[in-house]
Structures are given as C-alpha cells and as structure tokens.
C-alpha cells in the first residue's frame, strides 16, 4: 500500500488520452488531476485504473497543484482508492464510505455468489462477464477486471461513480463498467446489472436474431421480448450506449456478436433473467431438432401472462400499445425474430421422410444384392 500520493495536474487539457495516461504513469503518478469538463477517453480511464492511478476531477477553474499528501488507505477501510478525495466534488460528488457499510458488505457477498453461478452454468469464460450494483445515487459496486467470476472474493470489488471513476477498492474495476453505468443513468429502477456470454443466447446474438415469443410462460413473464443492440467494440462508451434505445422497456438485451446484459432490482434477479433467457434459447434449439413444429400459446393466454408481469412491476415493450399492437404479442411475423420452426417431417417439404429413406436404402440394397446374385 502506498503511503504517499503523487499528483499530476493536467486539468488544463480539454481531452485526456491514452498518451497522457501513459505519461502520467511514466512520471510515477498515483493521481491524475483533470478538469471536470474535460473528456477522458475510455482507454485512458482503463489504463489509469489498471495502474492504480486515481482520476481526480477538479472543479471548474480550480487549480490543482502537484503535491505529496499522506494517505492511509486503511483509515477508511476501503482500499487503495478509498481516501475519498478522489471523488468528484459538487453536483456528482460520490461517497466512498458507501463501500464499507453493512449493506455494501452483503452486496459484495451476493455478487461473489452470483459470479460463481455464472461460471458454474458456463455463462462466462476466462475473466469474461461483469456484475454491478448501484448502492447510492452516484456510487456503483462492481467486479474487477481480469478476475474469473468463479474466484471472486468481496475484497476484489471496486466502487465507481456514475462516470466510471474508481473511488474505492484495491483492484481496478471492470473495463466494461460503462455498459452498466449507461443503464443506471437511463433506468432509475435498475439496481443491478449482469453482463455475461451464455452460449445459447449468444448464439442468437451472433445471428442478429431474437427468440420468438408466446412459447414458454416463464420466459414471457420474466424476460418477454428481447431486444438486440448493434455491435460495437466492447468496453467503449460507444458500445455502452448501444443499449440505450432498449433498456427502459426490456430488462434483457442481446448484444450483437458478443453476449447479453440484464438489469433488475437485485443482483440475484438480474442473474435469474440471464438464466431464463439462456434456458429458453437452449430449449428452442432442442425443440427445433425434434422434427415437429413448435406449438405456441394463444394471444389471449399471452395477455394473461402480461397481466401477471405488470403486477410484478417488470418492464415489457408490449405494455406500450402505441408502439406495439396487441396482435403482436406473438412476434412470429416481426422481422428480426427467429422462430426456429423445424421443417415438418412429412408433407410436401421436398425432403424425404425417414420412412422414405428406409425404403430407398432397402431398394438400393435389394438391387445391389440382386446384381451380385446374378453374377
């Protein structure tokens, strides 16, 4: 743990780039002071976080000085980022003390448990996936970068503000935090965000298609219509903002060529939605191999499920009748859905049935045996 802090003041710059971050690191900085109005590129933020350099937003017009302060990280119990002086002041001031409250400790444990669920269910590989919880108006607890979700411990967690600045925690925060933060800023009801790469749901995400509706009741109630956001490079703010058109009316979004993201009122519930979506996509794929058409529940039965969903307070774009008519509860005709209905095994499909194939094999075998016998 460092006892001394070296500040590098670049608050005169309008933009802070990766090169600035690298120069600050080379100069031995432990804090970089920037103007709160300046733009810090995501790669610069990540580089600073990965090198345990705190980004300090100074107030407009305030002159930060290069100085050495005493900092005892143990004093606040919140680790290398925990002095609190790294938090932006004023409108977006954040409170690093929220990182060590009894509520925060319980949330950290819940995040670890959910991380292990994600890993055990093969929803994350390597250090993939990330989990967060909004513990205050401007404070979010999140998983660190480069740690397997199976191995998470409460001590690994980070605290960030809504702009992605790390304000507490000993490990650098996930590089995909901006995806979470955009959702928190857009949806006040969102208390937790889980991002992962479950294989069957991701299979849909790489086809650019969403699963159809009105097939399995649990999916209708807990997830319902899934949106798909366009592909952008993960970790960038541009990527994070791709979900903005969807997150108010969908608690689950497929991220094209990447994975999924879910939000909920608790960490556990956000992970449940990932499970519900993944199992649904998997079930559809299995059903498509059975050789018979998938049967759907009726529009009226779908309306009954939507009524249950409304009572539970869960979002669904189908509540917005100005955007979607009741007759579109089932989206079989809606572009961008994929029904995965298998080709019927009989009828005029152009494909031979199993009985036809058996007859064909038998007739060829008979012909060959007959020819051999004639010799």
Kindly name the residue from 71, 110, 176, 220 that is annotated as catalytic. 176
C-beta separation of 249 from 316 below 8 A: yes
Tell whether the torsion through CA atoms of 48, 54, 60 and 65 is positive or negative.
negative
Cα dihedral 85, 86, 89, 92 in deg (nearest 10): -140
Rounded to a whole number of angstroms, the minimum distance from the CB of residue 166 to Zn ion is 19
Minimum CB distance to Zn ion, residue 368 (Å): 55
For residue 234, give the nearest of 258, 264, 205 by alpha carbon: 258
Sequence-distant (6+) residues with CB within 8 A of 359 are none
- Taking 3-state DSSP, the helix, strand and coil percentages for the chain, each rounded to the nearest 5, stand at 40, 15, 45
**Residue 112, H or E segment:** helix 102-120
3-state secondary structure 232-258: CCCCCHHHHHHHCCCCCCCCEEEECCC
**Hey, how many other C-beta atoms are within 10 angstroms of the C-beta on 25?**
18
Q: Which is nearer to Zn ion, 259 or 315 (CB)?
A: 259
Q: Beta partners for 6?
A: 68
292 vs 344: CA distance, rounded Å = 6
Instruction: Report d(CA 315, CA 70) in Å as an integer.
Output: 48
| Interacting residues toward Zn ion by CB under 5 A | 259
CA–CA gap between residue 318 and residue 316 (Å, rounded):
5
Catalytic: 238? no
45 or 195: whose CB is closer to Zn ion? 195
Sign of CA dihedral 246, 249, 254, 259: positive
Bridge partners (DSSP) of residue 40 are 16
Supply the minimum distance, in Å, between the C-beta of residue 152 and Zn ion.
Answer: 16
Of residues 244 and 345, the one with the C-beta less far from Zn ion: 244
Cβ atoms of residues 261 and 194 within 8 Å:
yes
Rounded-to-integer distance, Cα 256 and Cα 275, Å: 18
Which positions are catalytic?
176
């Amino acid at each position: 743990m460092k006892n001394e802090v070296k500040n590098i003041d670049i608050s005169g710059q309008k933009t802070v780039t990766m090169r600035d971050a690298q120069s600050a690191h080379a100069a031995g900085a432990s804090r970089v002071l920037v103007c709160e109005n300046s733009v810090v590129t995501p790669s610069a933020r990540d580089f600073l976080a990965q090198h345990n350099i705190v980004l300090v937003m100074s107030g407009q017009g305030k002159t930060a000085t290069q100085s050495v302060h005493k900092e005892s990280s143990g004093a606040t119990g919140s680790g290398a980022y925990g002095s609190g002086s790294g938090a932006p002041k004023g409108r977006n001031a954040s409170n690093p003390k929220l990182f060590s409250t009894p509520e925060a400790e319980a949330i950290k444990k819940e995040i670890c448990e959910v991380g292990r669920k994600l890993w055990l269910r093969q929803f994350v590989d390597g250090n993939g996936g990330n989990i967060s919880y909004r513990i205050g108006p401007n404070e979010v607890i999140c998983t660190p970068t480069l740690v397997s979700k199976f191995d998470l411990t409460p001590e690994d967690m980070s605290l960030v503000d809504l702009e992605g600045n790390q304000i507490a925690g000993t490990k650098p925060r996930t590089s995909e935090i901006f995806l979470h933060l955009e959702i928190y800023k857009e949806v006040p009801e969102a208390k937790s965000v889980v991002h992962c790469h479950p294989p069957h749901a991701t299979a849909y995400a790489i086809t650019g298609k969403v699963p159809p509706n009105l097939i399995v009741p649990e999916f209708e109630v807990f997830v319902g219509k899934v949106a798909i956001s366009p592909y952008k490079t993960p970790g960038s703010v541009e990527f994070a903002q791709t979900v903005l058109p969807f997150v108010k009316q969908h608690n689950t979004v497929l991220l094209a060529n990447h994975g999924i993201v879910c939000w909920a009122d608790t960490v556990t519930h956000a992970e449940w939605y990932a499970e519900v979506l993944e199992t649904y996509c998997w079930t559809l794929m299995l059903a498509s191999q059975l050789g018979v058409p998938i049967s759907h529940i009726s529009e009226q039965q779908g309306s009954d499920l939507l009524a249950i969903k409304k009572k539970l307070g869960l979002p669904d774009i189908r509540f917005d009748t100005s955007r979607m008519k009741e007759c579109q509860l089932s989206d079989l005709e809606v572009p961008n859905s994929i029904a995965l209905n298998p080709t019927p095994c009989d009828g005029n499909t152009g494909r031979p049935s199993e009985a036809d194939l058996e007859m064909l094999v038998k007739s060829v075998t008979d012909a060959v045996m007959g020819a051999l016998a004639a010799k």
